[in-house]
């Protein structure tokens, strides 16, 4: 289960930046990362649910490759402090 950090967003038609209120860092997001963070702002989600939403918005099939890419994206976002595990279990499922 993953959840997002507390973020302030600024969106333009050609780009999205977020400010992490906890760390004070600022990040430029690609569209998929922005999509995932928006989802996790609404509520914590499991990897499978996130992957399903990404597949729908990007109009691609859900397969192992997509799941792996979403897993890597979540790891990258976690390294940046933009997402974190929503439970005490730190391993993505």
Partner 1 sequence: MATGPFVAEVRTDIDILFEGIRVLYADFTVAEVADFADFHMTFGRPRSLRRWFYPQVCFLFDDQSPFQPLPLNQAPAMFEWCFNWCISSCANQYLIVHAAAVERDGYAAILPGPPGSGKSTLCAALVDRGWRLLTDELVLVSMETGHVIALARPIALKNHAIELIGSFVSGAVFGPECRDTLKGRVAHLRPPTTSVVRASEPAKPAWLVFPKYSGERVAGARPVPKGQAFMRLAASAFNYTLHGANGFATLSSMIDRMACYDFEYSSLDEAVDWFDNLKRLNDPMAGDERGSFDS
Site residues for partner 1 per CB under 8 A: 6-17, 19, 21, 24, 26, 28-29
Is there a contact between 51 and 66 (Cβ–Cβ < 8 Å)?
yes
- Positive or negative, the Cα torsion across 11, 23, 47, 69? positive
Please, what is the minimum distance in Å from the beta carbon of residue 80 to partner 1? 14
Residue 30 or 75 having the CB closest to partner 1 = 30
Residue 28 or 56 having the CB closest to partner 1 = 28
Residue 19 or 84 having the CB closest to partner 1 = 19
Cα–Cα separations (whole angstroms), residue 60 to 31, 32, 43, 48, 64: 15, 12, 23, 15, 12
Please, what is the minimum distance in Å from the beta carbon of residue 84 to partner 1? 18
């Amino acid at each position: 289960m993953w959840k997002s950090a507390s973020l302030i967003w600024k969106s333009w038609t050609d780009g999205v930046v977020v400010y992490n209120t906890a760390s004070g860092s600022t990040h430029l997001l690609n569209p998929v990362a922005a999509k995932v963070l928006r989802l996790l702002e609404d509520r914590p989600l499991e990897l499978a649910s996130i992957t399903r939403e990404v597949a729908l918005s990007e109009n691609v099939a859900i397969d192992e490759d997509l799941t792996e890419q979403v897993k890597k994206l979540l790891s990258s976002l976690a390294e940046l402090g933009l997402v974190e595990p929503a439970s005490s279990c730190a391993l993505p499922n």
